[in-house]
Chain A
Amino acid sequence: MRLALERRPEQSRTMTVVSPLIAIAITVLVGAIVFSARGLDPLHALYVYFVEPVMTLWSLEELAVKTAPLVLIGVGLAVCFRANLWNIGAEGQFTAGALAGAAIPIMFPEWQSPAALPLMLVAGVLGGIAWAAVPAFLRNRFGVNEILTSLMLVYVAQYLLDWLVRGPWRDPDGYNFPESANFEGWHALPTFGDGRVHLGAVFAVVAVVVLFVFMSRTLKGFEIRVSGEAPRAGGFGGFSRPRTVWFCFALSGGLAGLAGLCEVTGPVGQLQPIISPGYGFTAIIVAFLGRLNPIVVLLAGIVLGISYLGGEAAQIELGVSDKIAQAFQGLLLFLILACDTLIRYRIRIGRRETAVATDA
C-alpha cells in the first residue's frame, strides 16, 4: 500500500472551495477528541466553543471587534502572498502603526479637535508602511530575504512599545502602571451599538471590497498576480518586480498599521505592553483560509474571530485554557495546507504501478 499523487489536468475548482471546509471539519473533530480526553462532554464543549459566540447580540458585536483587525491585516497579506511575497511581520507593522498614531494624543493631550482622529489614522497607516518598508527596501536593494527581516522587526516593534509605555509615554497620573493615558474624546475611535464595535470594522469591509475590485478588475492587480505566479513572464511583460515588492509591502503594512491604530484607540483604549493577541500572525491563517481572495478573507476572518471568542468562552465555562485557541488556529492552517493538495492532485492509495499507469 502506498500513497501516490496524480496530477490533475487542471486545478480543481470544486476542491478550492471544499478543501478549507474539510480542514475546518477536521479541526472541529480534533477539538471534540481533545475535549472528551479532558473529560468534557464533546458536544456541549463544541457548542460552547463554536456556536455560542454567534448566538447573542453581545457576542456578535464582540466577534466584529475580533474580526476587524484580522480581516484588515488578512486582506493585505492575501495580496502579498498572491505576489509570492512573504510578509510575516504584520504583527510588528500593527504595533508600529499603533505607536505612530498614538504619538499624537500622547504628545499633545490637550489638542482636542475633530482633525485629531483623521490625523492619527493617517499616522497609523504611515507607521505600518514605514515598518514594512524596511524588509521591502532590503529585499529590493540588497536581495535580503523578506521573511527573516519582516519577522525580526516584530520583536523590535514589541520592545519599542514596551520601552515607551514603561518610560517616556507612561501615564503621569497612572500610579506607575506601564500604560499610557487613556485616549478620550476626539482621540478615541467612534463606536456603534453598545459601544464595542468600532470604525475599524467599517474600514475592514471597505478594504475587502476595494481590494476585491482591485485584484480582479485592474491592471495593477493583474500585474501582482502574474508577478507571483510567473515572475519571468511578468518581466517580459514589462512588469517591475521591485515595484510590486514596494506596493505589496506598503499595502499590507499600511493596513496592519491601520488595524493597530484602531485597536489601541478602540477596544484597548490606551497603549499597554501587550496590545494584540497575535492578530498579525493569525491573519496569515486568515489569508490562507480565505484562498487569498479578499471576499473569502472576510469569511475566514469571521471563522478565526470565532476561534478567539470560543477560546475565551471555553476558559470561562469549561475551565479549558484559552491557549487552546492558538493551538486550534495552528492546526487549522496545517490542515488547510494539507487539504489544498487535493486542488492540484488526486490521491491514489494503492500500489505504485497503478498510479504510474493512470498518470500516463
Chain B
Amino acid sequence: MTGLEAVIMTIIAAATPLLLAAIGELVTERSGVLNLGVEGMMIMGAVGGFAAAYVSGSAMLGIAAAVGAGVAMSLLFAFLTQTLVSNQVATGLALTLFGLGLSGLIGEAFTGLPGAKLQSVHVPGLSDLPLIGPVLFGQDVIVYASVALTALAGWVLARTRLGLVIRATGGNHHSAHALGYNVIAVRYGCIAFGGATAGLAGGYLSLVYTPQWIENMTAGRGWIALALVVFSTWAPRRVAVGAYLFGTVWIMGLYVQGIGINIPPQLLASLPYLITIAALVVLSGDRLLTRVNPPACLGQPFVPDR
C-alpha cells in the first residue's frame, strides 16, 4: 500500500463514524426531532457491538448488536419525547449521560481484551488495483453501508412520498396531522433510524477503527456529528462532504506531527473540537442557509389531542 493510499484509507476511516451518526441525526431532525443523545447511542453501539463480537467471535453479530443497542437507546428517547412529551434537549442530554454511564459499567469486563476485527472486503483483481483498488474495493462493509445509507436518505427525503411525509412532519406537524398522517409514528421511525446509524457508527469504532473497548471511546464524535448536521444545513449531500472534510482535518493533524513539526499532541487532539466551533461560526455568516433550512418544528413537542 502506498503512502497516498494509506492517507486516503485513514481519512475514510475517520470520516465513516461521523457520516453514519450525522446522516441518522439528519433524518431525525428532518422529522422535527432534535436528539442530542447521539453520543450516548453511539457509545452503547460501541460497547454492545464489541461485547457481542467478543462473546460470539463473530464481527457480523457484533455489528447487528451495535445497531440493536443504538435502536434500543433511541426508542427510550422516543418514548420519553414523543409519548411522554418530555423536553427534547434535556432528554437527549439524559440519553448521553445514561449511555456513557451504562457503557462504562458494561464495558468494564471487556477492557483491554482483544476484539474481533471486522475484515475488509476483498474483490480478487479489483482490490489489487493501484490507489482505487483498496480505496474503492477494499473497504469493510460498514464504509459501504455509510455511503449507501447517505445516498438512500438523500433519495428518500427528496424523491419519495415517505420523504415528503417526513419533511411535512418536520416542517409543520399540525398540517401533517390534519392531513391524516400519524406524526408521532413518523417521528418514532425517524428516531429509530437515527439510533440504528448511531449504533452502527459506534460499532465501527469498536470493531474496525480501534478494535477494542476503551471507556468514552466515542470522544465527542456524537456531538461533532450533531454539528455536522447544522453545518450541512440539513442536506444529505453536504453531510457527506462535511464528514470527509472533517476526517481529512482529523488525519492531517496526525501527519503534521509525523513529519516532525513540533506541536503538542494535546493541541492536535483538540483541533477537531476547535474546528467544529469555527465551522459553526463561519456557517452562521450565511443567514439565508441557517434560517431557511432548519425544519420549522425542530425540537417542538407535538401533542395530537389538544
A156 lies within 8 A of B274 (CB) = yes
B105 lies within 8 A of A326 (CB) = yes
Any A CB within 8 A of the CB of B254: no
Please judge, given known A-B contacts A148-B276, A337-B86, whether A285 and B97 are in contact too, CB under 8 Å: yes
Shortest C-beta distance, B134 to chain A (Å), equals 32
Roughly how many angstroms separate A88 CA and B227 CA in the complex, as a whole number? 15
- Give the size of the chain A interface in residues (CB under 8 angstroms): 53
Roughly how many angstroms separate A86 CA and B89 CA in the complex, as a whole number? 8
Roughly how many angstroms separate A355 CA and B284 CA in the complex, as a whole number? 44
Shortest C-beta distance, B79 to chain A (Å), equals 8
Any B CB within 8 A of the CB of A147: yes
Roughly how many angstroms separate A149 CA and B276 CA in the complex, as a whole number? 8
Any A CB within 8 A of the CB of B148: no
* Choice from A282, A324, A333 contacting B98 with Cβ under 8 Å: A333
Any A CB within 8 A of the CB of B104: yes
Roughly how many angstroms separate A330 CA and B223 CA in the complex, as a whole number? 18
Produce 1/0 per residue, B102-131, CB < 8 A to A.
Answer: 101100100000000000000000000000
A321 lies within 8 A of B270 (CB) = no
Any B CB within 8 A of the CB of A359: yes
- The residues in A between 166 and 211 inclusive whose CB is less than 8 angstroms from any CB of B are 166-167
Binds A, one of B21-29, B164-172, B205-213, B261-269: B261-269
A148 lies within 8 A of B104 (CB) = no
Q: Which residues of B contact A285 (CB under 8 A)?
A: 97
B84 lies within 8 A of A323 (CB) = no
- The residues in B between 273 and 306 inclusive whose CB is less than 8 angstroms from any CB of A are 273-274, 276-277, 280-281, 284-285, 290, 303, 305-306
Roughly how many angstroms separate A6 CA and B223 CA in the complex, as a whole number? 34
- The residues in B between 37 and 63 inclusive whose CB is less than 8 angstroms from any CB of A are 40
A330 lies within 8 A of B102 (CB) = yes
Q: Which residues of A contact B267 (CB under 8 A)?
A: 159, 163
Roughly how many angstroms separate A104 CA and B48 CA in the complex, as a whole number? 45
Q: Which residues of A contact B273 (CB under 8 A)?
A: 152-153, 155-156
B93 lies within 8 A of A138 (CB) = no
Shortest Cβ distance from A281 into B: residue = B97
Shortest C-beta distance, A312 to chain B (Å), equals 15
Q: Which residues of A contact B266 (CB under 8 A)?
A: 159-160, 162-163, 166
Produce 1/0 per residue, A1-12, CB < 8 A to B.
Answer: 001111100000
* Secondary structure type dominating chain B contacts: helix
B105 lies within 8 A of A144 (CB) = no
Shortest C-beta distance, B165 to chain A (Å), equals 21
Roughly how many angstroms separate A331 CA and B80 CA in the complex, as a whole number? 13
Q: Which residues of A contact B270 (CB under 8 A)?
A: 155-156, 159-160
Shortest C-beta distance, A173 to chain B (Å), equals 23
Q: Which residues of B contact A166 (CB under 8 A)?
A: 266
Q: Which residues of B contact A233 (CB under 8 A)?
A: none
Roughly how many angstroms separate A149 CA and B219 CA in the complex, as a whole number? 15
* Secondary structure type dominating chain A contacts: helix
B230 lies within 8 A of A143 (CB) = no
Any B CB within 8 A of the CB of A107: no
Greatest chain A CB density within 10 A among B94, B226, B264, B284 is at: B94
A142 lies within 8 A of B97 (CB) = no
A142 lies within 8 A of B93 (CB) = no
Roughly how many angstroms separate A345 CA and B276 CA in the complex, as a whole number? 39
Please judge, given known A-B contacts A7-B306, A88-B93, A163-B267, whether A152 and B220 are in contact too, CB under 8 Å: yes
* Choice from A147, A288, A333 contacting B36 with Cβ under 8 Å: A147
* Choice from B94, B99, B230 contacting A145 with Cβ under 8 Å: B230
A334 lies within 8 A of B83 (CB) = no
Roughly how many angstroms separate A334 CA and B102 CA in the complex, as a whole number? 13
Any A CB within 8 A of the CB of B76: yes
Roughly how many angstroms separate A134 CA and B223 CA in the complex, as a whole number? 18
Roughly how many angstroms separate A3 CA and B79 CA in the complex, as a whole number? 11
* Choice from A3, A162, A330, A340 contacting B101 with Cβ under 8 Å: A330
Roughly how many angstroms separate A329 CA and B303 CA in the complex, as a whole number? 29
A144 lies within 8 A of B89 (CB) = no
Any A CB within 8 A of the CB of B11: no
B105 lies within 8 A of A138 (CB) = no
- The residues in A between 303 and 331 inclusive whose CB is less than 8 angstroms from any CB of B are 321, 323-331
B93 lies within 8 A of A333 (CB) = yes
Produce 1/0 per residue, B68-98, CB < 8 A to A.
Answer: 0000000010001001111101110111011
Shortest C-beta distance, B69 to chain A (Å), equals 14
Roughly how many angstroms separate A174 CA and B144 CA in the complex, as a whole number? 50
Any B CB within 8 A of the CB of A16: no
A323 lies within 8 A of B94 (CB) = no
Roughly how many angstroms separate A147 CA and B98 CA in the complex, as a whole number? 18
A152 lies within 8 A of B84 (CB) = no
A326 lies within 8 A of B100 (CB) = yes
Q: Which residues of A contact B230 (CB under 8 A)?
A: 145, 148
Roughly how many angstroms separate A333 CA and B101 CA in the complex, as a whole number? 12
B104 lies within 8 A of A323 (CB) = yes
Please judge, given known A-B contacts A152-B223, A333-B93, whether A321 and B105 are in contact too, CB under 8 Å: yes
Any B CB within 8 A of the CB of A22: no
Q: Which residues of B contact A145 (CB under 8 A)?
A: 230, 280
What are the 6 tightest A-B residue pairs by CB atom distance, in nearest-first order?
A330-B98, A326-B101, A327-B101, A163-B266, A159-B266, A323-B104
A-B contact pairs, 30 of them (CB 8 A): A3-B83, A5-B84, A6-B305, A86-B89, A134-B277, A142-B281, A142-B285, A145-B230, A148-B223, A148-B226, A148-B227, A148-B276, A148-B280, A149-B277, A152-B273, A152-B276, A155-B219, A155-B273, A156-B273, A159-B267, A160-B270, A281-B97, A326-B97, A326-B105, A327-B101, A330-B102, A334-B80, A334-B98, A337-B84, A338-B80
A residues adjacent to B (C-beta < 8 A): 3-7, 86, 88, 134, 138, 142-145, 147-149, 151-153, 155-156, 159-160, 162-163, 166-167, 281-282, 284-285, 288, 321, 323-331, 333-334, 337-338, 340-341, 344-345, 355-356, 359
**6 further contact pairs, Cβ within 8 A, besides A327-B101, A327-B102, A329-B101:** A86-B89, A148-B280, A162-B266, A163-B264, A167-B264, A328-B101
